[in-house]
Structure 1
C-alpha cells in the first residue's frame, strides 16, 4: 500500500511442497493482509489506497483454474475476517466498548448467516455468572456476553467445537492497578474475543462442516466505588467460589463463566484464547502463544494449524502441581497464585471451570500487536493473531 501501486503481478513458481492452488491461496492471503490500512479517528480525509488488479502468473498451462479461483476466494474470506479482528483491536476503548463489540458481532452474523444472541447483565445474573459480573461491576459500561453459532440447525449430526475469547475492552488492573506504562495498550485486552468473532465469520462463509460456537464475554475492568476488591469472594456459575487475590487477574474470571457455559453444548472440543498473562510474554518473548492442552490429538491439530498460517504455538505444562498456590482458606480457589509459573497457574485456574475432556487454552499475550519480523502486519496495527489459527484449525478438523 505504501508504494501506491495500482497493478501487481505475482509469480506462482513451482514448489514440491505446495500445489498451485495452495500457493495461489497463500499469495493472495498474504497480499491482502499486507494491504490492510487503518486510519483511526484522524480528522483529515482518508482515501484508502486500493489495487486495481492483482495478477497471479502460473508456470503450468495445465493448472486447474477453477480450483485456483476457489482457493483465492477462500483466501479473501480469511483476510477479510482477519481485517475485522484487526479493526476491533485497533479501535480506542471509548469506541470499542462491550456494546460496540456486541453490535459488530450481531451485524456480522446477520450478514453471513450465523445465529447470534447477546446476553445482558440481567441475563448473566439469572445464570449466576458471579465471576464475570465481579469484573464488570466497577464500570458504568454494562457487560455483554456474545454468543455466535454456525450450523446450529445441524448440531446433532456434526462435531461441535466451542471457541471462547476473552473480551476485556479496557483493563486498568482494577484496585490492583497497573502502572502508567503497564496500562498503555490495554485496549488490546479483547484481542482473543475479536479473534473468535473473525473466526466465526470465516466459518460461515467457508461453510465449514462443523457445529461451531463462539463465546465472547465482554466487559471493562475499571476502578470505582463499586469495583471488586482483593479479599472479595464470588461464586461462579458452576458453584465454585473464588477468592480475589488480584483484581488484575480479571480475564480468567470472564473466561471461567464462559467455559462453564460452553459445556451446555456438549462439545467435542473447547478452545479458549486470551491475552491472559504477562508470565507467558516473559516465557515466550511475545514471539508465539502458549498452548495448554488436555488432549494430545487436539494439541497436535492446533500446533499444525499454527505452523501452517505462521501463528505459532508452544506447548506449556498443565499440571496439578500448579494448583497448590491457588489454595484458599476461604474459598474453593484463589484467582491468582505464586509469581513464578504464572501462565501455567492461570491455566490451572481455568481448568476448574471446564467440563470437557478435550480442552485447549491459548495464552496469546504479547503478540496481539505488530511483530516487526512479519511483513504482512502493518506498523502500529493489531496483528489479528488467532483468527487465521482458529480458521485453519477448524478447516483441518473438518477435513479429517
Structure 2
C-alpha cells in the first residue's frame, strides 16, 4: 500500500513511511492469523509468503518443502504431529540475502506454524477453539518481519523457517506415551498432544544449525501458561545471551510492543529430562511452570550460543488493551521484530 502525505519537520516524512511499513507488515501477519483455517492451510500460507517476499525484493529465495522432503530430513517429531491431518504439511524455508557477502552467516528466524490446533487426542475445550486458527502466529510474525527487511533492503542475510501443519485428532495421530525421534536422533515421549508446538519446533531448530547461523530466534504461540503469566502486556523472552535480550528489549521500548525476560534455569530442564521412556518429555512434571519447561524443552535442540525463544501466546488476540488494535488477531510482535532487524543491520554496517 503506497501512501503519501505532506509533513513538516526534519525526518517527518521518513518517520511516516517507516510507520506505514510497520503497519502494513503487522497487518499481513494479522491477515494470516485471522483467516479461517479451512482457507489458511499450510500450502496457502506458504504461497502468500512467497508472493509477498518475491514482490518485496529480488534478493530472495523461497522453498516450499513437501512431506517427502520432511521425511528425507528425518523430522520424525514434526511428522508425528502432521500425520493426524489429511491436509499435507509444508516446511517453508525463505531466504533474504541482503548482505554484500552472500556467504555471511544469516540470522535465522523460526516460527511455529500450526494452522489449526484442536489439541489432538488431548483435545481442547470447544469454547474459543476457533481462535486456534491463529496458532501459526509465530510463523506469521517472523515471515512478516523478513518481508519487511526485504522491503527495507537491509544489508543482512536472514533465513526464515516455518514448519506448517494442522494438529488434528484421528486414528493416525500421536497417542499419549508414544515415543518419536527428532532430526538430531533425540527421542521424545509425547505425554500431551496439545504440546505440539514443541514437537514441530524441535525438528526446525535442529535444521537451523545447517546454516551456520549468526543468531537463532524463534517465535511461537506456545503456552497458555505464558498468557497467564504476562497476558497481553508483553512477549516472554527466554534466551541464553544477555546481549540478545538487550537488543530485543531496546526494540520493544521503541515500538511499545514490549518483551519481558523469563528464566532458563536448569531447575526446569530437570523436569523434562526426567523421562521414563525417552530422552526428553514434551511436557514438564508440573503444570504451573509450563512456559518455562517448554522453553527448557526447546533448549534441548539448540546447540548455538546465541538463541532466543519468544513465547507470544498472550499476544495472539486483542484484549482491548492496545488502543490501535480492534478485536481479533493482533500480529504481535511483528513491529518489535522489524525494529530488532533494523538495529542489528545498523550494528553490522
User: TM-score when scaled to structure 1?
Assistant: 0.82
Aligned to 1:393: 340
**8 A contact 1:139–1:222 mirrored in 2:** yes
- Asked if structure 2 preserves the Cα contact closer than 8 Å seen for 1:115 and 1:152, the reply is no
Distance change (3 Å), C-alpha of 1:152 and 1:363: same
Report if the CA contact (8 A) 1:302-1:393 is conserved.
Answer: yes
CA distance in 2, matches of 1:154, 1:170: 39
Equivalent of residue 39 in structure 2, options 77, 95, 98: 95
Q: Gaps spanning 5+ residues in structure 1: where?
A: 1-31, 33-50
For the 8 Å contact 1:371–1:383, the answer to whether it is kept is no
**Is the Cα contact below 8 Å between 1:175 and 1:247 reproduced in 2?**
yes
Contact map agreement 2:7 2:13 (CA 8 A) in 1 = no
Alignment partner of 1:317: what SS?
coil
> Residue deviations 1:42-98, cap 9 Å, x none?
xxxxxxxxx99744344xxxx3xxx54344333322221111111101100101111
| Aligned counterpart, 2:141 | 195
Does the residue aligned with 1:80 lie in a helix, a strand or coil?
helix
- 1:275 and 1:287 mapped to 2: Cα distance? 14
2:277 aligned residue (326, 330, 333): 330
The CA RMSD over aligned residues, in Å, is 1.8
Q: C-alpha deviations, 1:101-134, integer Å up to 9, x for none?
A: 1111111122123211011111000000001101
Cα distance in structure 2, aligned partners of 1:155 and 1:176? 47
Output the CA distance in 2 between the equivalents of 1:314 and 1:74. 25
Residues in 2 aligned to 1:179 and 1:134: alpha-carbon distance in whole angstroms = 22
- C-alpha change, 1:161 and 1:365, in structure 2 (3 Å) is same
- Residue 79 of structure 1 corresponds to 23
Find the aligned partners of 1:274 and 1:371 in 2 and give their Cα distance: 19
Q: Is the 8 A contact 1:160 1:212 kept in 2?
A: yes
CA distance in 2, matches of 1:246, 1:167: 18
* 1:105–1:146 contact (8 Å) kept in structure 2: no
TM-score of the pair, normalised by structure 2: 0.94
Matches within 5 A, 1:153-172: 154=100, 156=102, 158-172=104-118
Supply the distance in 1 between the matched residues of 2:3 and 2:150 (Cα, whole angstroms).
28
User: Given the alignment of the two structures, is residue 243 of structure 1 paired with residue 179 of structure 2, yes or no?
Assistant: no
Instruction: Describe the shift of the 1:290–1:195 C-alpha distance in structure 2 as closer, same or farther (beyond 3 A).
Output: same
Q: How does 1:196-275 map to 2 (within 5 A)?
A: 196-275=142-221
- Give 1:284 deviation, angstroms: 1.1
Change (3 A) 1:140 1:203: same
Partner of 2:226: 280
Structure 1: how far apart are the matches of 2:13 and 2:182? 49
Give the whole-Å Cα distance in 2 for the aligned partners of 1:350 and 1:76. 35
SS of the equivalent of 1:181 reads coil
Alignment match of 1:372 (pick from 310, 315, 320): 320
CA distance 1:353–1:154, change in 2 (3 Å): farther
Spell out the pairing of 1:7-46 with structure 2 (5 A cutoff).
none
Q: Which whole-Å CA distance do the structure 2 matches of 1:179 and 1:160 have between them?
A: 40
Partner of 1:343: 291
Aligned structure 1 segments of 4 or more residues deviating by more than 4 angstroms: 51-55, 152-157
Distance 1:116 1:52 in 2: 28
Aligned twin of 2:69: 123
Paired with 2:136 and 2:3, the residues of 1 have a C-alpha distance of 34
For the pair shown, the structure with the greater C-alpha radius of gyration is 1
How many residue pairs get aligned? The number is 343
In terms of mean alpha carbon deviation, does 117-126 or 146-155 score higher?
146-155
**1:272 and 1:362 in contact (8 A); partners too:** yes
Counterpart Cα distance in 2 of 1:349 and 1:207: 35
